[in-house]
Amino acid sequence: MVKRLLAVIGGVAAILAAVMLLRPTSTNPEEARTPWGEPDLQGLWTYEEEIPLQRLARFGNREFLTDEERAAIDKERAEILTRGAEVSDRRYERGTEQDVGGAYNAAIFTTHRPIGRRTSLIVDPPDGQIPPLTPEAQAKRAEIRAFQVALLQATDVCRNNLPGCAGGKYGPPSPRRADAPPHYLTVVGAGGPGGGGGVVNRANGPEDRNLGERCMGAMLPDFGGNTGFMLQIVQSPDSVAIFYDTAQGQGWQRVIPIRDGAHAPAHLRQWWGNSRGRWEGDTLVVDVTNFTPKTYFLGSYENLHLRERWTRLDAATIEYAVTIEDQAVWTRPWTVKQDYRKQDDFQNRIYKEPRCHEGNYGMAALLAGARTEERAFAAGRGPDPATKCNAGCGGFAFGFADTGDESNPLTR
Amino acid sequence: MQRWSTGAVILVALAAAALGASAALGARNPAATSADIARQPDGRPDLSGIWQANTEAHWDLEAHAARPGAVTQQGVYPYDYARVPAAPVLALGAAGGVPPSIGVVGGDGRIPYTPEAARIRQANGENWIDRDPELKCYLPGVPRAMYMPYPFHVVQGTSKIQMAFTFTNAARTIHLDAVEPPPDDTYMGHSLGRWEGDTLVVEVTHFNGKNWFDRAGNFHSEALRLVERFTPMTRDALWYEVTIEDPKVFTRPWTIAMPLYRRLEPNMELLEYRCVEFVEEFLFGHLRKEQLVRRWEGETMIVDITRKVPPGDKLYEWYRR
């Protein structure tokens, strides 16, 4: 017991120490303006606090946590993670596909940031929830989901009724395995709940796999996620360059032109959209449109419209607010706010490399593995590949359990 | 007659040496620098904007005559100068060739390879589509990124200069302030900049040695060290000169130099060339369940080309009569 308590204290101390190391040394507000008189957004930035995108139901319309609540949540999370570490990561039953799928070390997917003051990143609507999906978006999601579970239905995931099979049932291999998907495949969550891994349980070619596995996972907007991010901003009077170090080698370079006038022609579609920036007082306001049908953000594809507001609040802080709109997907626009804290320029903790693409042996191995399984089955030396799982199979062994008391307190 | 011709040879040689020296020193630029260049409030030149080289350097840094195809094979005669386009580009006709260039290498115009490195360069050129990292959409490295046939955006901040490249969304940061060295070697290197008058001088180190200079097979090792010099010539042109040093590959330092031009279109902006997606077929096509390209033999792509004559093509109708 004492040992466990010490471990918990150690964990909390490590979190605090990490946060203190990240603090910038200077807080001189004079630094916050460029020589040409505009607010200075330059430097390295990241978010230092863990805040769920959507508010937990138990907080209702309450926007902020008390200090006591924050301390209690941090303590509970540290305890669960410490127990998880003691059993050398939570894992599924040894030898199952779920266990193999969870062979990643849980540490890299487990955030150690302390809980922030806000109850949710979403500040509008006031309940902190993503607005309801339109019937059109629900139908699109259901079509993708139906395709996902059809391809999973002959696997253990459905036989054992694991979360990855939600909405589906166990049965013989589906003839839909030979079909093209109903929409361009993007990320696991595009069809609703999934258990990690690829988008669909198939690897006929790279397009069957998720954008992350294809080294095209970077998206806009990005609020961090399990691997976090670091921004490097360099600014001139007519442009703001932002490098998004989103980890896993999927970082990307953005340049926002400070320019009046129309967006690029509507038929010109871009993975990261088309940005137009302008200064409104001391706030950089950026309008982003022209996304591609291959871009995905929580249900929205090419009609995603972002209105970003970048404001330097003080020497150490940028407030990033983005209003997210897609009339075909959500019944109303919604707004997210996130604070970025300035990091030490000298330490230069931003890595444009190694990139995912130059080392993407994973894709080759995944496709080669699928072809090997097909050959073995054809020769009567192995199981039907349709009964094996490589997407939505149960996923990684996170530091938190999937459900119950040991799950992440920020998700229940 | 004898004396006249000797004198002429000497004169020509002197002129050539002078030209070579001036190219090597980038002497074309200082004279051209005008007072009318973009400047920041502190008086430093402002290199911000969208720039692009307008050379054939991305095909081959050295001087070369036009080639009939980006990939060629031996023609009916065995001479090197009588090669013909090969299958991968044959169907592209006159659009599949390589444009000629006077070259961008200073001095005698040749890259001073060690004998062993010269053999590697030769083999690289002969196996271009098998070996060039550009074809795999890998990060292009420096200096190659600076003269690829795509625009790049320079954002000059107060302590960093950021360069965003169209090709594969590559990026580099030139640190004008003090930073810790990088934890590892990289494709794009580690760039430290300083001002010498109106010239931005950048020392680039920490390369991983996986890049080439061009599509001709010119290459370097991880021992590469660069000194780049960016000097504004006018508002809309920079003189770009690089001293290249790599004792594992070259017998001495050598230089390349060329102008970089501002893209003057009023609606110019950087658009995506996200070739990570474009090369999935190139890299993984042989691992598809149902192959798209006819045909793969194991990992070897064999390109069968179909080119059809459109109905009504006058040339073909005439000769068929």
Residues of chain B numbered 57-96 and touching chain A (CB < 8 Å) = none
Is A393's pLDDT higher than 80? no
Whether A33 has its CB under 8 Å from any CB of chain B: the answer is: no
For residue B15, is pLDDT > 50?
A: no
Please indicate whether, in this complex, the C-beta atoms of A35 and B41 are within 8 angstroms of each other: yes
B196-250 tens-digit pLDDT: 999 999 999 999 999 999 999 999 999 999 999 999 999 999 999 999 999 999 9
3 state DSSP class of B53: strand
Residues within 8 A of A (CB atoms), B 253-292 only: 267, 269-272, 274, 276-277, 280, 283-284, 287-290
Q: How far are the Cα atoms of A60, A121, A338 from residue A63, in angstroms, in the given order?
A: 9, 9, 13
Using CA atoms, how far apart are residues A222 and B238, in angstroms rounded to an integer?
36
Residues of B in contact with A215 (CB under 8 A): 276
* Three-state SS letters, chain A: CHHHHHHHHHHHHHHHHHHHHHCCCCCCHHHHECCCCCECCCEEEECCCECCCCCCHHHCCCCECCHHHHHHHHHHHHHHHHHHHHCCCCCCCCCCHHHHHCCCCHHHHCCCCCECCECCCEEECCCCCCCCECHHHHHHHHHHHHHHHHHHCCCHHHHCCCHHHCCCCCCCCCHHHHCCCCCCCCCHHHHCCCCCECCCCCCCCHHHCCCCCCCCCCCCCCCCCCCCCEEEEEEECCEEEEEEECCCCCCEEEEEEECCCCCCCCCCCECCCEEEEEEECCEEEEEEECECCCCCECCECCCCEEEEEEEEEECCEEEEEEEEECCCCECCCEEEEEEEEEECCCCCCCCCCCCCHHHCHHHHHHHHHHHHHHHHHHCCCCCCHHHCCCECCCCCCCCCECCCCCECHHHC
Q: Which residues pair with A280 in a beta bridge?
A: A283
Q: Which pLDDT does position A1 carry in this prediction?
A: 35
Tell me the pLDDT tens digit for each residue of A315-366: 999 999 999 999 999 999 999 999 999 999 998 888 899 899 999 999 999 9
A272-325 pLDDT tens trace:
999 999 999 999 999 999 999 999 999 999 999 999 999 999 999 999 999 999
| Chain B residue closest in CA terms to A373 | B289
What proportion of chain A, given as a percentage, has pLDDT over 90? 65
Task: Tell me which residue in B157, B180, B184 faces A234 most closely, judged by beta carbons.
Answer: B157
| Mean pLDDT (chain B, rounded) | 90
The amino acid sitting at A129 is Q
- The pLDDT, as a whole number, for residue B121 is 98
pLDDT at residue B96, rounded to an integer:
95
Q: Is residue A201 a contact partner of residue A152, using CB atoms and an 8 Å limit?
A: yes
pLDDT at A14 over 90: no
pLDDT surpasses 50 at A167 = yes
Q: Which of the residues B40, B47, B169 would you substitute to probe the A interface, choosing the one with the greatest number of A C-beta atoms within 10 Å? A: B169
Q: Is the pLDDT of residue B17 over 60?
A: no
Closest by alpha carbon to A242, among A215, A217, A222, A226?
A: A222
| Nearest chain B residue to A271, by CA | B272
Of the partner residues B156, B161, B171, the one whose CB lies closest to the CB of residue A243: B171
For the cut 80, the answer to whether the pLDDT of residue B177 exceeds it is yes
Residues in B closer than 8 angstroms to A269, CB to CB, are none
- Contact yes or no for A236 and B155 at CB 8 A: yes
Contact list, B268 vs chain A (CB under 8 Å): none
pLDDT in tens, A61-105: 999 999 999 999 999 988 887 776 565 455 667 777 777 666 555
Residues 6+ apart with CB under 8 A from B197: none
- Measure Cα distances from A402 to A103, A146, A251, B315 in Å: 15, 23, 28, 70
| A29: nearest Cα among A312, A242, A283, A280 | A312
The whole-number pLDDT of residue A17 equals 41
pLDDT digits (tens, 9 = 90+) for B70-110: 999 999 999 989 999 999 999 999 999 999 999 999 999 99
With a threshold of 0.85, tell me whether the complex ipTM lies above it: yes
pLDDT category of residue A106 using cuts at 50, 70 and 90: low
Q: What residues of chain B lie within 8 A of the CB of A357, using their CB? A: 137-138, 168, 276
Tokens of A129: 């929830």
B48–chain A Cβ distance below 8 A for any pair: yes
A348 chain-B contacts, CB cut-off 8 A? 175, 179-180, 182
Note whether A270 contacts B: Cβ–Cβ < 8 A: yes
**A225 — pLDDT class (breaks 50, 70, 90):** confident
Work out the minimum CA distance from A295 to partner chain B, whole angstroms. 13
- Choose among B88, B94, B95, B120: nearest CA to B213: B120
Residue of A nearest to B139 (CA): A358
